Chain A
């Protein structure tokens, strides 16, 4: 009961303080909104990139091992058995020369080329799906050591490309974290200074509160709530703007740059909403907590 009454007191104070210093409060809301938009864009880009990367991963983790024409079928089966027993391998499928050609001809992209094909230049192949992207290289080198492999064109694995992709995603991850750290620090500093203004306006009240026996949390409460209010309002605005802008930007992007398979992902909106609102509230709480620390001490 006492807790509820104290909460009511804190909410009242926070609300009044927010409106009393409206100019400062709004400045803070606008700044935090801009920061959260940046953070949201960062999250969205990160998500889009991981979506794209997942597509690549899917392709890259599927590898075909080309079988030399003179390899006996028993040797191919033995190798297939060996691969299937390997814990790193998810599935193995044997595709004969004929099936490979049929697949090739069926693909509309190869329509012109398949007209000119004489006989069957394609290899039989083992299509291997590797469980983890990081194991593809090892499976590839194992396949290359197998005597039955086609020496002129052993596998379709492009090690260079995969390592590049992995590196790029790692760098983008670091950059994202770095950007987020900067944004977090900047917004905490903004909230801190806003709350300092509020503290300045209410220094007399704080003094009296302490003298009549307020606990530190009682003094701190209104300011922390004001910080949370600022953060949540800013997050709500940022979120609305991002939700409105997300679909048209994606469709524009995927129309212009077709080779990157970017799609609108409505399920991401809910996780974005959670991240922004919780993040805004936490930033506000933390900024104001730090902002009043010195003035709260009994």
Chain B
């Protein structure tokens, strides 16, 4: 009992400390030349930027008894681009649901920007979600609203004034290349265009973090590639991106950070990885 308490406070302190340390490191980093920065990134990638997301010994067991995540430890620094890969049922969506606090971990702690999600009050949850942009495989657009209103929806929910909404929606639609489609309805758009609308909605409130669960799952390869480039551009502007995906070609092409989950555990975490681990166990490759 006492040990558990001690362990709990140790973890929490760690979460807070690493955030503060990251903050200091970030400030120090601002004084470096871009060449020094690149060197630093290569040398110590995880400790130079602020850890925006930090999972500490996170376990998730659903009421059905399924152990979806086992002892997951994961630190995502600010501005990172992370692919979550792994076979169906590995626990990728579960990780995403924990991250937006649709679910709570059974054990362990999740920190986002230094705040422990488990400690967050229900009252504060909406304001946390406003810092995040979400994109899903099934787009989740509202069929009875125009494209403009779909993108504006997030800002309306936040109670923003009309003038502000107009400029922001125009910018977001411009970013995803859908200016001119404002008055169209989702049913009249292709899958790729619908996903662009969903991305515009996820962007429109300028979130610091984009979380996507198989955003290209319903799209053909060419369209998937376009959508992925969109995410890369958003990431280049500074947003942290966490994306669960099954898209092997794109993951292998982009060579970004890959976190592989298998049976609820982190099996691999490569700085610039591939979809499959090709070094140690080539026999798992399912091609």
Give me the interface of A with B, judged by CB distance under 8 Å: 1-3, 5-6, 9, 204-205, 207-216, 218, 297-298
Contact = CB atoms under 8 A, between A and B. Distances in A.
Q: Which of B130, B153, B156, B161 has most chain A Cβ within 10 Å?
A: B156
Given A212-B153, A218-B126, 15 more contacts: A3-B159, A204-B140, A204-B142, A204-B143, A205-B142, A207-B140, A209-B157, A211-B134, A212-B157, A212-B158, A212-B201, A213-B127, A213-B129, A297-B122, A298-B126
A81 B142 CA distance: 85
Contacts of A5: 156, 159-161
Nearest to A209: B157
A211 B129 contact: yes
Interface string B130-159: 100010000010110000000001101111
B17 interface: no
Given A204-B140, A204-B142, A207-B140, A212 B134 contact: yes
B8 interface: no
Contacts of B25: none
B125 interface: yes
Contacts of B170: none
A5 B157 CA distance: 10
A215 B140 contact: no
B159 A213 contact: no
Contact of B159 (A2, A209, A297): A2
B161 A212 contact: no
Contact of A212 (B122, B123, B130, B143): B130
Interface string B152-194: 0110111111000000000000000000000000000000000
A62 to B, nearest CB: 62
Nearest to B133: A212
Given A204-B140, A298-B122, A212 B159 contact: no
The CB with the most chain A CB atoms within 10 A, among B128, B130, B157, is that of: B157
A1 B161 CA distance: 8
A258 B129 CA distance: 71
Nearest to A9: B156
A216 B159 contact: no
Interface residues of B, number: 23
A170 to B, nearest CB: 47
Contact of A213 (B140, B142, B143, B157): B157
Nearest to A6: B159
Contacts of B142: 204-205, 208
Nearest to A205: B142
Interface string B92-125: 0000000010000000000000000000001101
17 contacts: A1-B161, A2-B159, A3-B159, A9-B156, A204-B140, A208-B140, A209-B157, A211-B129, A212-B130, A212-B201, A212-B205, A213-B128, A213-B130, A213-B157, A215-B123, A216-B122, A218-B157
A2 B164 CA distance: 13
Most buried by B among A1, A6, A212, A213: A212
A215 B123 CA distance: 7
Contact of B154 (A3, A212, A216): A212
A214 B157 contact: yes
Contacts of A1: 161
A2 B161 CA distance: 8
Contacts of B125: 298
A245 to B, nearest CB: 42
A5 B152 CA distance: 14
Contacts of B158: 212-213
A294 to B, nearest CB: 14
